[in-house]
Chain A
């Protein structure tokens, strides 16, 4: 769906300092070469299947379906991947690509820590150096993941600037990449940033939707009626949606973090509250003030706590192909607890936003309808934070 100059409609582009232009061009050329290289694809598939545990299960949530009393609910179990989230799909692809390009060092931003852990994992596996930038606020929220990354041999650098969250970690990665390019690949974690990142990350995540389609045809003999995935930058969502974009009968829904509510300043719901802007290399929707200053955003979920969204989502929204709904902290936490008790699956707080929407919409749909919710990650990392949210004095 990418047009030749890296645009999705008017969105996307390459708004980068001149210093990095040859780096992104080199990356695009390498990607265009290797994406059609049978050997590269075989290597990547082997890693995805043998190392990362793909294909992930498409699980029929029978109890949840019966309790909610409406549409049939399937869960795409990205939480069962190695490292516990969909992030590994993209990271293995990019790390392998970087290695083919002769790079020896990976840098990455992380919010909740899932992408950082995945990058540290791939770096350990492929024998590469790894540096992860993480907002100091997020390091506090996700201490276990910080330790996990260090255990895997990565250096974790706290970012105290701005709001000390994901956007600041992205900015710091861009600064770092500007100062060291020759041996370094910026392993961007979502479908954002300058072209070719939104396309590369989408292609590596598209395995989610391809599997859903095949598994759904095997189990039900037809396509689902609705796909739901959570959206921060939007990588698990685009991975879920991509293979279904031309199947117009399948509704695509992105659940974004409304925080305390989209009518409050404490929100990260970019599509519902943002406007078009240019930031972090791309033209897309951003939360910003009237002078184009990027707004501080808020969500209980460190992984969705980002003031922008990938350019392909901006385009899918504009053309009416996908819909983006806001889910509050309260709704996400309720879903986190409900799915844990009902199905014995503890979902990531990010994924709980998608599950929360499924809980709202399923009862309003007929029983012969089918919903697939992508459980993008597992919730072990969130248990302590949710306990605190519920007033318990629990610290890691």
Chain B
């Protein structure tokens, strides 16, 4: 059974994203532990990429800060291994195809598995291109998480049927980043997903406050928050752990009774 399912075992899941090495790995480690302490059910660790084409300015800047600080994929493997000693919730890596491909998919997945990683999200690897990555991921007990977007329409069933771990439902058009309003009617999408798979689904992109988090979690199995957390890290730098923890608590509290 997928380790990622565990995140959805006890009610609606709160999934938090953070860019590794922004501003340094020590801070990332403190933030992750605070996120878990305050109720995060799954942690997405972003491996920074030089040219993140699916990200908005908030995560783009975080990637730049992290890379300017010198963090590498190897540093992140070592960091994750250390983190795994006390962090028990499922964790996955979110990065871009080239980071995995150039490292060597086999080599990358071997090290990710050793580090205790349960899943992988590659926003620039759609259904049509996933086979080469997925085969290796499966061998290493890593779920390659698929995404579904408001434009997926006739593709939803196909993607849902082969989904592993959970389905990442993109809330609206555009890149990552906080939005004042999420106007997409996601219910029909979720219904189509449910009709085609038992794999849980979580909604992400643009969720920045407890109310949005509650709205999204009420129609899906969980909510994913990235830019909202990364923004706090941008503001507080090395002192981010406290504010990140408080933010996660406010989001998780908003979905506990659902």
Contacts and interface: CB of A to CB of B under 8 A. Distances in A.
Interface stretch (B135-143, B151-159, B238-246): B151-159
Contact of B151 (A22, A171, A280, A288): A22
Contact of A22 (B60, B74, B129, B155): B155
A15 B124 contact: yes
Contact of B102 (A20, A175, A179, A277): A277
A283 B49 CA distance: 16
Contacts of B147: 17-18
Contact of A180 (B99, B146, B173): B173
Given A178-B174, A181-B173, A21 B98 contact: no
B24 to A, nearest CB: 17
Given A18-B126, A180-B173, A277-B101, A291 B54 contact: no
A19 B101 contact: no
A291 B73 contact: yes
B149 A171 contact: no
Contacts of B72: 291
A307 B149 CA distance: 29
B53 interface: yes
A20 B175 CA distance: 11
A168 B50 CA distance: 10
A179 B175 contact: yes
B102 A288 contact: yes
Interface residues of B, number: 40
B152 A294 contact: no
Judged by DSSP, the binding face of A is mixed
A293 B67 contact: yes
A113 interface: no
A292 B170 CA distance: 26
A278 B149 contact: no
A293 B50 contact: yes
B234 interface: no
Contact of A291 (B51, B99, B128, B150): B99
B236 interface: no
B127 A21 contact: yes
Contacts of A171: 51, 53
A246 interface: no
Contacts of B210: none
Contacts of A293: 49-50, 67, 99
B123 interface: yes
Contacts of A32: none
Contact of B149 (A13, A17, A180, A292): A17
Contacts of B154: 22
B97 A17 contact: no
Greatest chain B CB density within 10 A among A16, A275, A283, A288 is at: A16
A317 B24 CA distance: 41
A293 B123 CA distance: 16
B126 A17 contact: yes
A161 interface: yes
A167 interface: yes
A278 B132 CA distance: 13
Given A13-B129, A16-B124, A293-B49, A178 B98 contact: no
A18 B170 contact: yes
Interface in A241-267: none
A16 to B, nearest CB: 6
A275 B49 CA distance: 17
Interface in A161-183: 161-162, 167-168, 171, 174-175, 178-181
B101 A161 contact: no
Nearest to B72: A291
Contact of A19 (B67, B74, B97, B170): B170
B254 interface: no
A178 B52 CA distance: 13
A21 B159 CA distance: 12
Given A17-B124, A161-B60, A291 B148 contact: no
A141 B97 CA distance: 32
A277 B97 CA distance: 9
Interface of A: 5, 13-23, 161-162, 167-168, 171, 174-175, 178-181, 275, 277-281, 283, 286, 288, 290-294
Interface of B: 49-51, 53-54, 56, 60, 67, 72-74, 97-103, 123-129, 146-155, 159, 170, 173-175
Q: Which 3 A-B pairs have the closest CB atoms?
A: A292-B102, A179-B174, A19-B149
6 contacts: A15-B124, A17-B149, A21-B149, A291-B102, A293-B67, A293-B99
